[in-house]
Structure 1
Amino acid sequence: MSRVQIFTDSTNDLSDELRQSYQIEVVPLYVIFDGDSYKDGVSIKPDKLFHLVGQTGKLPKTAAPSPTDFEQAFAPYIAAGDDIVFIGLSSELSSTIQNATIAASQFEEGRVTVIDSRNLSTGIGLLVLKAAQAAGEGKSAKEIRALIEPQTAKIEVEFVIDTLEYLHKGGRCSSVQAFIGSLLKIRPLVKVIKGAMTLTDKVRGKREKALDQLLNNALAQKDLMDEEILFITHAMAAEDAAYLKNQIEQHTNVKRVYITETGCVISSHCGPCTVGIVFAKK
């Protein structure tokens, strides 16, 4: 039986340590600023992204890897005799899955398996870790697909967005909404539902109030949580992430709570001080 190599894209938001530990390969998306193209997580990191936004007052555009990018990434592993399972950013949000599927068609049928995560950030990361564990146990690509695809609907991803500025600059809310939101200190909670980002709450007032709402939403489902792994994922909000980690560890039986930082693609849409809780349901 062929060895299975797990691939994902740069929106998975797992730490370098976790990716290296599980031997996960990454195909980066692109971040485009004033005609300059950067590879997410390779030639640009969030601190540089936020600096450029502050300098220019503009948001970058983001783009999926091309089919050629995927072909070039997959080819050495196929040549070495490995099969590949790729798990990527929700097809509701990006053409990443479409382009990976085009690339997969260039190889012998069954050598590259493409799975739509229907998620983003460490919602993808959770599925990727499960796939990597299964690959390490010697499971085939077909068995990994059968394991992972039903799990996509069990991933819970919810974020607090600290400012409407990035949503406004990205065309996701009007200037009037952004102005009123800033005036009233409204912080939206955004959840991934059926593969798309959906506004679930608008919390008015102090940031702590929004964080507690996010925490309470997660704890309301603690009896349904898969207790193996939970992620606190943030963009320049380390103290808030540490607070949430502490609360989750106190009030649930989750064995491993990881803090990770969002990459440039997620950061460019949500902005600094975004923080989220990500877990799988049983």
Structure 2
Amino acid sequence: MTVKILADSASDLSKVHYSENDMEMVPLTVHLDEKEYKDGQEIEPVVVYNAMREGKSPKTSQVSPQTFKSIFTSYAENNQALVYFALSSELSGTYQTAKMMEQEVKEEYPEASIHVVDTKCVSLGYGLVCLHAAKRAREGASVEEIIDAGTHHAQHMESIFTVDDLEYLYRGGRVSKSQAFFGSLLKIKPILQVEHGKLVPLEKVRGSKRLFGRMLEIMEERGADLKNQTIGISHGDDIQRAEQLAGMIREKFGVKDIEIEMVGSTVGAHAGPGTIALFFLNNTNK
């Protein structure tokens, strides 16, 4: 029986990805206008972005323990192997909750092949890790081989972000109020990266015209065998700029395989509309 791959909605993968790769998705929760929605199932990202443009501040919460226990128990009862590649533990408590439920289920089903892996990744970079693991699963790889391949992919995933408005990062505690104010005043665009699972500032670029050029320079400095890997681009309801960046990458590096997806409701609620994120590997040897 093929090993099943589980991802959460912060992977920003589409329903087509889950269907075509025989993966399962567990949703985080979005809180908006005093209502709760299952991310990726009950609310579209554009609804969240429009709310943020109107000045609203949607919140998110992790997957519940009972949800994980139910999923893990069903796989244990059917004696099927499951590997859950989780959103970075530095950005959500979902991984820790899943680990607790993994141990709880294994107390009742000691032989259960249930495994929880912290990717330290987010958005489509995390999604690419899950797709790589699912590919190995379809090829008939063992649980150990899948975890090894997914972990290697995650450890070498570069995640470069920029946002359209620093105000959203200020609300999320990523920049100070003065940085947000002066950044907007001086038209400074931040470039951030995921480092050890956390989203941290990398540098600032004055003017949007230089922004994508600098992102490609970072890509050239850090990337490995870019032409022969899958590049990820996710966007906060700005497909035009995402496709512009994709065109620049194809022209500069000869890349053929680029996945473009909208940043989902969970990640988007913190990054805001206009976010552009770029994902690529700095080591493709494994």
TM-score tier (shorter): over 0.9
Work out the CA distance in 1 between the residues paired with 2:227 and 2:28.
29
Unaligned runs of 5+ in 2: none
Q: What is the Cα deviation at residue 217 of structure 1?
A: 1.3
Structure 1 CA distance for aligned equivalents of residues 193 and 173 of structure 2: 18
Partner of 1:220: helix, strand, or coil? helix
Partner of 1:196: 198
Matched residues in 2 for 1:12 and 1:41: separation?
10
| Partner Cα separation in structure 2 for residue 13 and residue 269 of structure 1 | 14
In structure 1, the partner of 2:132 is 130
Q: Which amino acid aligns with 1:87?
A: F
Read off the aligned partner of 1:191 and give its amino acid letter: Q
Cα distance, 1:137 vs structure 2: 1.3
TM-score (norm: length of structure 2): 0.91
Find the aligned partners of 1:152 and 1:30 in 2 and give their Cα distance: 24
Show the counterpart of 1:111.
113
- Summarize deviations over 1:135-175 as a string: whole Å, max 9, x none: 11112222211222233220011011111111122233332
Q: What pairs with 1:157-176 in structure 2 (closer than 5 Å)?
A: 157-176=159-178
Q: RMSD of the TM alignment (CA)? A: 1.8
- Pair 1:17-2:19 in alignment: no
Please name the residue that 1:6 is paired with: 5
Preserved CA contact (<8 Å) 2:88 2:95:
yes
1:169 and 1:117 map into 2 onto residues whose CA distance is 25
Gaps of 5+ in 1: none
Give the aligned partner of residue 217 of structure 2. 216
Greater Cα shift, 40-49 or 102-111? 102-111
| Equivalent position to 2:82, from 81, 84, 90 | 84
- Deviation string, structure 1 residues 213-255 (Cα, Å, up to 9, x no partner): 1122113334454723111111112111111111211222434
Give SS of 1:115's match: strand
SS at match of 1:125: helix
Name the residue aligned to 2:242: 241
Structure 1: how far apart are the matches of 2:219 and 2:171? 29
Q: Counterpart amino acid of 2:239?
A: A
Q: Tell me, in whole angstroms, the C-alpha distance in 2 between the residues paired with 1:24 and 1:208.
A: 39
Amino acid at match of 1:121: S
Partner of residue 36, structure 2: 37
CA contact (8 A) 2:168 2:271 kept: yes
Letter in 2 for 1:235: G
Q: How does 1:40-79 map to 2 (within 5 A)?
A: 40-55=39-54, 57-79=55-77
CA contact (8 A) 2:65 2:101 kept: yes
What is the aligned length?
Answer: 279
* C-alpha distance in structure 2 between counterparts of 1:180 and 1:213, whole Å: 21
Contact 2:227–2:254, Cα closer than 8 Å, also in 1: no
Cα distance in 2 for partners of 1:13, 1:193 equals 19
Deviations 1:248-282 (A, max 9, x none): 11222434111111101111111111111101222
Counterpart of 1:93? 91
Q: 1:183 to 1:214 in 2, by over 3 A?
A: same
CA contact (8 A) 2:234 2:262 kept: yes
In 1, Cα distance between equivalents of 2:35 and 2:8: 20
Structure 1 residue 179, shift from structure 2 partner: 1.4
Q: Note the 1:139-178 alignment, pairs <5 A.
A: 139-178=141-180
Q: Percent identity?
A: 34
Tell me, what secondary structure is at the counterpart of 2:230?
strand
TM superposition score normalised by structure 1: 0.92
Deviation, 1:180, is 1.0
Task: Check whether the contact 1:90–1:116 (CA below 8 A) recurs between aligned residues.
Answer: yes
SS at 2:170 equivalent: helix
Residue aligning to 1:277? 278
